[in-house]
Chain A
Amino acid sequence: MTNVRYGFVIDLRKCIGCHTCSIACKRENAVPLGVWRSWVKQVEKGSYPYIRKSFLPILCNNCESPICVTVCPVKASYQRQDGLVLVDPHRCIGCRYCMAACPYDVRFINPITPIVQKCDWCVHRLDRGLKPACVEACPTNARYIGNTHDPQSEVFRLIQSNPVIVMKPEMNTRPMVYYINADQLTMDARGGALWKRVHE
């Protein structure tokens, strides 16, 4: 049994919201117009003149307990031993149940093929010992990937030495994308607007 468990760390202190990762992903994976495997959410906080922008790169969390794998009726969505969740393009029937069940809404129907696709952390590159296109392209080195079981790896060190959070931990999916310096308002689907309404 492999002792590799890939994890992704995004250091939001370094992210400048340039969208280079999104474009590199589009080019690497030939993602058609209108759909995204990975993108950067931009949030504006505060009020004039005290405004600042926050960025939240979003991609598939390749969860440890992926709901998409559980609900796929034909096992087209499956999980490798290293934790990566992949979609078998020859098996997917396009029922889109995985898209509806994913709490992070990171799957899409490729309008050309048409089957369900998602970010697979550039598995074709990882298997050849390369980093994913977004990690390679990030100009500020805000993105890291590596083996979370290996104490020598960069991601292990970053996860252990920083306050990291994951998206929607309450879903019990155990996401493997860790964010450094993310705040609740940026993570919230409505930028905290609802949170404010509930509690004000």
Chain B
Amino acid sequence: MEESARVIYNVPFVIPIGYLIAIYFYITGLHMGFYTTSVVATLLNKQEWKPIGKIGAVGALIVLAVAPIFLLVDLTQMARFWHLFPYINLRSPITWGTFFLTAYPPIGLIYAWHVFRGNYRAAKIWGLCGFPVAVSVHGYTGFILALGAGRAFWNTSLNPILFLVSAMVSGLALIIIIINIRYYYFAKNEDAAQKAADLGIINTLVRMLYLFIIIELFLMGCDLAVLANSKAEEYQTYLLLTRGSWAPMFLGVELTLGGVIPLILLSIKRIRLHPVGQGIACLFILCGILAMRIIIVVGGQSVMLH
């Protein structure tokens, strides 16, 4: 009986969706983290949280202004991007993304305007109105992967949730870095009470970050467990991630550098309360989430299909 076979001729497989899209997913994740933190800060309606609301609102607008550039550059027929508007296919997650990416900028601008003008009642209303859109701007990217039925690593309902959680992790990490920079370089003239409040806010954000890292690691563990005990293509993806060419990036950068090490650092009180410790942990997290996006998008297409 023939037990195995060797493929001696086949056409080479290509990875259709590459690094630009992975970076786009990363940036929309940062956007969601920024916006969510900003809206939470606005809803709290406390004086000391107002700087966070402003940083988040502006940060969300800036990153979302950059993100579509990656999408456009990635198209092989860039001049035809406008086809996305008249030729709508409601079954395609990219079409959903077109709606969300178009709807967010005006809502985000109005929200930011009210936050900076100090109209907190209006800011709350617009913030809440924009929240589902802002979440969807990143959430739809998870659906792009989940509905890509041909790829075992993509085709899981965990992906949209994992993307949202990791977006919160990366957004919070970047906000903590920005707030620390603001606190130590631009808020020297603040009074002692405001400074103490700022430190309290940073602590709260770090705790939130810690919680989201745990959720993210749990979801990744679930994903891995299913891959390891599923069909041949899923198992091959599992091998690729744990023993194959993507193992150093997955185990080394995504899980260890971007997940376990920050978790350990933030568990130690002296490091958690120190701005340098927070900064290092957050930088590691940002690297880890970028690695995660690349692994899911590019690594997920690295399994031969024919």
Contact = CB atoms under 8 A, between A and B. Distances in A.
Interface in A63-102: 67, 70-76, 91-97, 99-102
A58 B76 contact: no
Given A75-B89, A171-B149, A189-B306, A36 B11 contact: yes
Contacts of B269: none
A58 B9 CA distance: 12
A90 to B, nearest CB: 9
A45 B75 contact: no
Q: Taking chain B's interface residues, is the majority helix, strand, or loop, or is none over half, making it mixed? A: loop
Interface stretch (A6-14, A106-114, A144-152): A106-114
B303 interface: yes
Interface stretch (B77-85, B108-116, B123-131): B77-85
Interface stretch (B170-178, B209-217, B230-238): B230-238
A195 B232 contact: yes
A75 B81 CA distance: 13
Nearest to B17: A100
Interface in B79-96: 80-81, 83-84, 87-89, 91-95
Nearest to B94: A73
B154 to A, nearest CB: 8
B306 A73 contact: no
B4 interface: yes
Contacts of A109: 16, 76
Interface in B129-178: 144, 147-151, 154
Interface in A143-193: 167, 170-171, 173, 185-186, 188-193
Given A39-B11, A42-B10, A45-B5, A93 B84 contact: yes
Interface residues of B, number: 50
Contacts of B303: 189
B77 A92 contact: yes
Contacts of B88: 73, 75
Nearest to A17: B9
A94 B21 CA distance: 13
Nearest to A46: B2
B74 interface: yes
Contacts, number: 162
B19 interface: no
Interface residues of A, number: 56
Contacts of A195: 232
A136 interface: no
B305 A43 contact: no
Contact of B80 (A41, A58, A93): A93
A53 B6 CA distance: 9
B7 interface: yes
A191 B232 CA distance: 12
A128 interface: no
Which of A99, A109, A167 has the largest number of chain B CB atoms within 10 A?
A: A99
13 contacts: A45-B4, A70-B91, A71-B148, A73-B84, A94-B76, A97-B144, A100-B17, A101-B148, A101-B150, A105-B304, A114-B77, A191-B4, A192-B5
Given A40-B9, A42-B9, A45-B4, 18 more contacts: A42-B7, A45-B2, A91-B83, A91-B87, A93-B76, A95-B74, A96-B16, A96-B17, A97-B92, A99-B16, A100-B150, A100-B151, A104-B305, A105-B304, A191-B5, A194-B239, A196-B4, A198-B232
Interface of A: 36, 39-46, 53-54, 58, 67, 70-76, 91-97, 99-109, 114-115, 167, 170-171, 173, 185-186, 188-196, 198
Interface of B: 2-11, 13-14, 16-17, 74-78, 80-81, 83-84, 87-89, 91-95, 98, 144, 147-151, 154, 231-233, 235-236, 239, 301, 303-306
Which 5 residue pairs are nearest across A and B when measured between Cβ atoms? Answer: A94-B76, A73-B94, A99-B16, A191-B5, A103-B150
